[in-house]
Chain A
Amino acid sequence: MTRTTSRPLAGTGRLVRLALRRDRIILPVWIASIAAIAWMVIGSYEATVGGEAERMSTAAFAAGNPMARMFDGPAAGYDLGAMVMVESYQVLAILAALMTAQAVVRHTRQDEETGRAELLGSAVVGRHARLTAALVVALGANVALGATITAVLAGTGYTGAGALISGVSVAGLGWVFAGLAGIGAQVFSTARGANAAVGVGLGVAFLVRAVGDLLGDVAANGVAVVSAWPSWLSPLGWGQQMRPYYEDNWWITGLFLALTAVLVAVAVALAARRDVGPGMVPARTGPRCAAPTLLHSLGLAWRLQRGIFVTWLVGLVTMGAALGPMGESAEELISENAQMYELLERLSPGAGVVDLYFAFSMAIFGIAAAGYTVQALLRMRAEEVSGRLEPVLATATGRRRWLAGHVLIAAAGTAVILALTGVASGLTYGAAAGDWSVMGDPLTGALVQLPATFALGAFVLALFGLLPRLSGPLAWASLALALVVGQLGSLLDLPQWVLDVSPFTHVPLVPADPFEATPVLWLTAVALALGAVGFAAFRRRDLAIGA
């Protein structure tokens, strides 16, 4: 009996069952959604590029086009299965990483934050049982996801090793991020901090492989890219280098397994060295009295929001600065390729290559900045659910004033992030190309996204007022929909009304196309209307009472 106390994994099995019980809806929904995206990409690809000649030219375009290299990844031949995976891999893998990281954090750091872990720790539960159980569930979920993707591919006629490799390539990134989230959960004292660390990790992984693929060469066959060395530094790059239905690089599975093992070992070592409760970063003491800047509801909102804001600002401005100089490479690559130049001319007549480059990259930053908007607005829901809002609204602070403080910071924060990202891109492009004449282009391309991010934010605000319980999941789902529509919309051949649901569909492709006032005014009007609904609904509803 006494031996139970020294067994570090005691109780793991029960905790795994508990985690599965808690996640019995969310994980299957994640897995089914990700698999559904793969299935839709297959269907649309078959419909649009049927003939071999068509596929060859599409693959050749993807191999030569710097934008496709950066945002999709390295082209890998003209087999349909290979093309489907090149097109969809990043979306599938990034979603898998988010699913995994959230699951790990939910069952580790979030439990410690809420005090549930303490209660569990007092039962017959070993020191490493909680982390182990979370990892077992997360790694297992990725096995299930990989198997589902393999089944979807095999079931639609893409059989053979490629189907299996495709599943492994997506699950592999999920495994790596399970390990990373495990470390984040030890280092940071809040679930938010741990999740943010994972987000930064994903951004870095994307950026590193984007550089590697951009600097790579077109293979001798003309329909594939040989990536440069930076792609091999990113686990997101590894998944793409597995090249299902083209090279079927089995051995890369070993890289995923090895990195996952190292990350898990680090997480376990960290867990063994710390107490339950605090993170590794020790709590500091604070001021005895509050500064005058804190003493109103806007001051409090800023204090609560500034961490989120600074994280996103640094992340997106860094990416903007990193993407700027690539505009020059894009220009060089395309000017050497007459056929591609013609294609781009058709896509947006009269637009310069650099203009197109900035228009496309700023469209991506628009959706990324909306991620900040959503997270900042959902902070309000967190305040409400945790019970911290209750004592505030019991003071002379009205609901409208409290809401206005957070909304103002989320809106202004989004504007600042987009503007500085655009400026950073313009500056680094100018420095790299020695051409300062287009300095303002990325800035206008970024700012024109603002009404669309506001419309999405206002939708979240309306959810917060009308359906507070569902506001979190629905807000993230709407952002994911905007991402899928923006990245895969034209490819998936989605009906126009589905495309129209995403506010980003309506943003003019500035600076490649001229600015159009009508859609921007419509987006602004929708944002104002939804925002008004949110304010009115929040004023009329019961407050959720914490704990």
Chain B
Amino acid sequence: MEHVIQVEGLVKTFGSTRALDGLDLTVEPGEVHGFLGPNGSGKSTTIRVLLGLLRKDAGHARLLGGDPWRDAVALHRRLAYVPGDVNLWPNLSGGEAIDLLGSLRGSLDRVRRDELVERFQLDPTKKCSAYSKGNRQKVAIIAGMASDVELFLLDEPTSGLDPLMETVFQDVVREITAGGGTVLLSSHILAEAEALCDTVSIIRAGRIVESGSLTALRHLTRTTLHVTTTEPLDGLDTTPGVFDVRISDGGHTARFEVAADQLDAVIKHIGEHGVVALTSAPPTLEELFLRHYGDELATLAGNGNGNGTSNGTADDGAARTRGGRRRHADAGAAR
């Protein structure tokens, strides 16, 4: 089957700024694809090129089998867009804005619309000028999600939503994919992406630096183990594939990280020491993400270092955080 989104070598410049610098992105039918990166990394620019709002400078982009610039109107009938920072007409009510955006697209499911208004607890009679950021966002989400289309382009859709509404949003996304829809979810909230996405692409400075299924990506990183043994654990520091070891309780308790390909050998080694308790935590998306942004964080943490030392009580936590960040920085550099 054809790719829903296929982008190769996309370049977009604004004056001297190179917002997209040879970006590749492929989204398959029926998947929720996480598009991850911090502010200013080029997520919104990519989506706007895909919507035909910005013109690409170079590269190749196909969307639902069409050209995003030339076939914009025809393609837009088949997709819904939820911007992350939506500005609405101050003199229209929320209900009017939802109906308007839906009918301009050409497909608003009235029953679904009313259901979503109910679930997101939106008062549709208020004027848009009276809405808070979160409520404006709900208007955009309802207008987008209540349409019967193939593709949903969601650009940081939950910014400003409270945790309760965030849960409702995640349910709605799952309903969409259950119905066969495809979702491109741009986000910097990693927990949200982790909860929803099948595949992710990590963008940095206008380029994709990592892409693949979440399961496959996890194999590239380390699992955290927390063990308590009857005999003191020895030789962990020198075992290949083991990092960041912390021993406590006279050597009976250890916390460390293991590279995925060495997991088997390490477990065997631990097994010889009489395991009393063992917990393992899979790598989080955050760790994946930090592998690519570790150097930036190291710089930031380095700057914070001088400030933190004067404060005795905060120092413990700060030191741990810094240690954690450095670890990722090292891993990133080693790759």
Contacts and interface: CB of A to CB of B under 8 A. Distances in A.
| A and B bind | yes
Interface of A: 189-190, 283-290, 294-297, 300, 303-304, 307, 386-388, 390-398, 540-543, 545-547
A395 B125 contact: no
Interface of B: 44, 48, 51-55, 72-74, 76-77, 81, 83, 85-93, 95-96, 98-101, 103-106, 124-127, 129-130, 140, 143, 153
B125 A285 contact: yes
Contacts of B124: 288-289
A415 B109 CA distance: 39
Contacts, number: 118
Contact of B83 (A297, A300, A304, A390): A390
B98 to A, nearest CB: 8
Given A391-B86, A394-B53, A542-B55, A285 B104 contact: no
A386 B126 contact: no
14 contacts: A286-B127, A296-B103, A300-B100, A303-B92, A386-B87, A392-B101, A393-B51, A393-B72, A394-B153, A395-B81, A396-B105, A542-B53, A543-B53, A545-B48
Contact of A394 (B76, B88, B106, B127): B76
A213 B91 CA distance: 42
B96 A394 contact: no
Given A395-B106, A396-B76, A397-B76, 15 more contacts: A189-B129, A284-B127, A290-B96, A290-B98, A290-B100, A295-B103, A296-B104, A303-B89, A303-B91, A387-B85, A388-B87, A390-B83, A391-B140, A396-B73, A545-B48
Nearest to B50: A394
A540 B52 CA distance: 10
B81 A391 contact: yes
A210 to B, nearest CB: 34
B41 to A, nearest CB: 15
A289 B100 CA distance: 9
A168 B31 CA distance: 71
A180 B125 CA distance: 33
A395 to B, nearest CB: 4
Contact of A395 (B98, B105, B127): B105
B92 A286 contact: yes
Contacts of A304: 89
Contact of A288 (B93, B105, B140): B93
Contacts of B103: 290, 295-296
B129 A285 contact: no
A395 B104 contact: yes
Nearest to A289: B95
Given A392-B104, A396-B104, A294 B129 contact: no
Nearest to B143: A391
B53 A393 contact: yes
Contacts of B89: 300, 303-304, 388
A190 B76 CA distance: 32
Contact of A396 (B77, B86, B125, B130): B77
A90 to B, nearest CB: 35
Contacts of B83: 387, 390-391, 394
Given A396-B76, A543-B53, A294 B81 contact: no
B122 to A, nearest CB: 11
A288 B100 contact: no
Contacts of B143: 391
A286 B125 contact: yes
B93 A295 contact: no
Which residue of B74, B87, B104, B140 has the most chain A CB atoms within 10 A of its CB atom? B104
B55 A285 contact: no
A179 to B, nearest CB: 26
Nearest to B78: A396
Given A189-B129, A285-B127, A391-B83, A290 B99 contact: yes
